[in-house]
Structure 1
Amino acid sequence: MKTQVMAALAALVAVAALGSPALAQNAAGANAQKYGVAVVDINYIFKNHQKFITAMDAMKTDFQAVEADVKGKQQKIMQAQEQQKTFTPGSPEFKQLDEQIVRMTAGLQVDVTQKRKELVDREAKIYFDTYVEVTDTIKLYAEHKGIGLVLRFNGEEADQNNRESILRSINKAVHFQNSIDITPDVLAYLNRSAVTQRPAGGAAATPR
């Protein structure tokens, strides 16, 4: 998979070298090649990476289907429990229904555990595959532009009414960057589309 990703990205870099308008150096990262240093907003990329968004939406849909299935089975167990109350404790009918309820409950627990693991593993794979793709894209872009160092940064502005947002801003690794934000170009490679617009100061536009 990684070889295929690298091949596709290498082709995109070649297109950029020919001066494709969609992949041209953007204003936000105009000085990256000059200084040989760039910054990239990984959080922003994940929030706006169309393939990642599509994969996560599909997983959410499947999760909702699993949730509906579990609720349906729980409802059947509750109905069986209500029916059991109509039988005399210790009677053959009561025992038979009791065994059925135990089997249904055990089966549901196994099913939930298995499906939860499948969803967790699937989510982890989506994040990992996207991480590999983003990392490879940054590497190829940096090599093509002669950039020797790419740092991760957070372009979101601090919300004065949100304590967590303020703390995140205080703990930023990069507090200033002079037009070396290559996030729009990296995202354009990933989405195979026009460069995503970001404020001139480098702050990521809040996805809506």
Structure 2
Amino acid sequence: MKALHLFSIVSLGLAALASPTSAQQTGPSANSARYGYGVVDVTYIFKHYQRFTTSMENMKKEMESADGQIKTERDAIVEKERAREQYNPGAPEFKQIDEEIARLKAEFQLKAGKIRRDFLEREAQVYYQTYQEVSNAVQYYAQQHNIGMVLRFNGDAIDPNNREDILRAINKPVVFQNNVDITPDVLALLNRGGTPGGTLPAASAGAATKY
């Protein structure tokens, strides 16, 4: 089974949300309301969104537990194979153990495959749910601060010795942003549980959030 892929800026709090109409004077998102657009690092948010990272850690522990159970069954098959070697291939005991090993291997493959599929499906659901929450939080923040467009960008530093990093830098859609990074504010909104009421608003019908 493959390990879950667990997908850096400090959260600045929700001072701006207390007074939505007032523009921030300093910080990464200081100019977002002024220019009417912002950028957000979704990958960074996934890495630091507490509910998402907790869900991923819990799933990782469950996978480790399931892997331990699978290993026990795999070891039992190995022991059967060692027991089979004590008999000649033509002996009835050899044939009996050989058939049992074939049955155990088939059951093992089915069980291991099901466990893997179940975890992958659950992982996909967690990613989807988190993306919906991030999308709704971005939309809410943008509406509260009169931001007409939010673009997705990557704020990771570029390693000049890493070919993939260099290619990512060449192909990134946002080449420059002048203090319109709303990532810390959106992350703070998510980690505080959403809006002041404690929930995240659903995206408005027909209003797509841009990334």
Q: Secondary structure at the match of 1:29?
A: coil
1:153 equivalent in alignment to 2:153: yes
Greater shift after overlay, 133-142 or 81-90?
A: 81-90
Q: Specify whether residues 185 and 17 from structure 1 end up closer, same or farther in structure 2 by C-alpha distance, changes over 3 A only.
A: closer
The one-letter code matched in structure 1 to 2:45 is I
d(CA) in 2 for partners of 1:114 and 1:56?
Answer: 19
1:186 equivalent in alignment to 2:186: yes
More helix by share: 1
Structure 1 partner of 2:118: 118
Structure 2 partner of 1:34: 34
d(CA) in 1 for partners of 2:172 and 2:63?
Answer: 34
Structure 2 partner of 1:204: none
1:68 equivalent in alignment to 2:68: yes
Contact 1:157 1:169 in 2 (8 A): no
1:129 equivalent in alignment to 2:119: no
Greater shift after overlay, 39-48 or 156-165?
A: 156-165
Greater shift after overlay, 59-68 or 119-128?
A: 59-68
Q: Secondary structure at the match of 1:38?
A: strand
CA displacement 1:56-107 (0-9 Å, x = unmatched): 1111111212222222111111110110111232333222212211111010
The one-letter code matched in structure 2 to 1:181 is D
d(CA) in 2 for partners of 1:39 and 1:173?
Answer: 11
d(CA) in 2 for partners of 1:17 and 1:186?
Answer: 10
TM-score, scaled to structure 1: 0.79
- What is the CA distance between 1:19 and its match in structure 2? 4.0
> Which runs of structure 2 are paired with 1:1-208 in the superposition (5 Å)?
17-19=17-19, 25=24, 27-192=27-192
d(CA) in 2 for partners of 1:132 and 1:155?
Answer: 21
Structure 2 partner of 1:196: none
d(CA) in 1 for partners of 2:17 and 2:160?
Answer: 42
TM-score, scaled to structure 2: 0.78
Number of matched pairs: 177
Q: Secondary structure at the match of 2:28?
A: helix
The one-letter code matched in structure 2 to 1:41 is D
Q: Secondary structure at the match of 1:28?
A: coil
d(CA) in 2 for partners of 1:131 and 1:85?
Answer: 54
d(CA) in 2 for partners of 1:157 and 1:96?
Answer: 61
d(CA) in 1 for partners of 2:152 and 2:184?
Answer: 14
CA displacement 1:122-168 (0-9 Å, x = unmatched): 11011000000000000111111111100001111211121111111
Q: Secondary structure at the match of 2:79?
A: helix
Q: Which runs of 5 or more structure 1 residues have no equivalent in the other structure? A: 1-12, 194-208
